[in-house]
Amino acid sequence: MIMKRTSLFIFCTLLAGLTACSVKKQLKPDAGFLKVADQSFADAASQYKVMMKRLPADRFPKTYHAATDKLETSGSDWWCSGFYPGTLLYLYQQTKDQVLLTEAERILKVLKKEKDNKTTHDLGFMMYCSFGNANQIAPKPEYKDVLLTSAKSLASRFDPKVGCIRSWDSKDSDFLVIIDNMMNLELLFWATRETGDSSFYKIAVTHAETTVKNHFRPDYSSYHVINYNQQTGEVQKKRTAQGYSDESAWARGQAWGLYGYTLMYRETKDKKYLDQANHIAQFILNHPNMPADMVPYWDFNAPDIPDAPRDASAAAVMASALLELYKYADKSDAAQYYDCAGKMLKALASPKYKAGTGSNGGFILEHSVGHLPQKKEVDVPLTYADYYFIEALKRYKES
Taking alpha carbons only, the member of 186, 265, 241, 250 closest to residue 217 is: 250
Share of the chain above pLDDT 70, in %: 93
Residues 50 and 53: their CA atoms lie apart, in Å, by 6
Q: Is the peptide bond before 373 cis (omega within 30 degrees of 0)?
A: no
Nearest to 259 by CA among 313, 215, 324: 324
> Where does the pLDDT of residue 163 fall: very low under 50, low under 70, confident under 90, or very high at 90 and above?
very high
pLDDT at 398 over 70: yes
Mind spelling out the 3-state secondary structure of the chain? CHHHHHHHHHHHHHHHHHHHHHCCCCCCCCHHHHHHHHHHHHHHHHHHHHHHHHCCCCCEEEEEECCCCEEEEECCCCCCCCHHHHHHHHHHHHHCCHHHHHHHHHHHHHHHHHHHCCCCCCHHHHHHHHHHHHHHHCCCHHHHHHHHHHHHHHHCCEECCCCEECCCCCCCCCEEEEHHHHHHHHHHHHHHHHHCCHHHHHHHHHHHHHHHHHHECCCCCECCEEEECCCCCCEEEEECCCCCCCCCCEHHHHHHHHHHHHHHHHHHCCHHHHHHHHHHHHHHHCCCCCCCCCCCECECCCCCCCCCCECHHHHHHHHHHHHHHCCCCCHHHHHHHHHHHHHHHHHHCCCCCECCCCCHHHCCECCEEEEHHHCEEEEECCHHHHHHHHHHHHHHHHC
Q: Which residue type is seen at 211?
A: T
Q: Using N-to-C axis directions, what is the helix angle for 185-195 and 198-215, rounded to 10°?
A: 160
Alpha-carbon distance values, 186 to 126, 214, 264 (Å): 12, 20, 8
pLDDT at position 173 is: 87
Q: Residues 99-118: what's their mean pLDDT?
A: 98
Supply the CATH number for residue 283's domain: 1.50.10.10
| Average pLDDT value for the chain | 94
Please write the tens of the pLDDT for every residue from 223-253: 999 999 999 999 999 999 999 999 999 999 9
> What CA–CA distance (Å, rounded) separates 276 from 179?
14
- Note down the domain range covering 234: 2-398
Least confident of 9-18, 284-293, 375-384: 9-18
Structural contact between residues 223 and 213, judged by C-beta atoms closer than 8 angstroms: no
pTM score of the predicted model: 0.94
Please report the pLDDT score of residue 256 as a whole number: 98
Known binding residue 232? Answer is: no
Mean pLDDT of 130-158: 98
State how far the Cα of 138 lies from the Cα of 65, in Å rounded to an integer.
35
pLDDT tens digits, one per residue of 53-93: 999 999 999 999 999 999 999 999 999 999 999 999 999 99
What whole-number distance in Å separates Cα of residue 302 and Cα of residue 242? 12
The set of catalytic residues is 122, 180
What are the pLDDT digits (tens) for 36-53? 999 999 999 999 999 999
| 176: amino acid identity, one letter | L
The domain tally of the chain equals 1
Q: Is the pLDDT of residue 124 over 60?
A: yes
Question: What pLDDT is stored for residue 8 in this prediction?
Answer: 47
Q: Check pLDDT > 60 for residue 23.
A: no
pLDDT confidence bin for 20, thresholds 50/70/90: very low
Inter-residue contact 266 to 19 (CB < 8 Å): yes
CA distance 47 to 359: 8
The pLDDT value given to residue 26 = 64
* Residue 217 marked in a binding site: no
Name the amino acid, one letter, at 64: Y
Distance between CA 252 and CA 261 in Å, rounded? 14
Is the pLDDT confidence value at 109 over 90?
A: yes
Tell me the pLDDT band of 145, cut-offs 50, 70 and 90: very high
Lowest-confidence segment of 17-21, 324-328, 375-379 by average pLDDT: 17-21
User: Is residue 376 scored above 60 in pLDDT?
Assistant: yes
**197 vs 4: which has the higher pLDDT:** 197
In the prediction, which pLDDT does 172 show? Answer: 82
pLDDT at res. 202: 98
Tell me if 122 is assigned to a ligand binding site.
yes
Query: Is the confidence at residue 14, as pLDDT, over 50?
Result: no
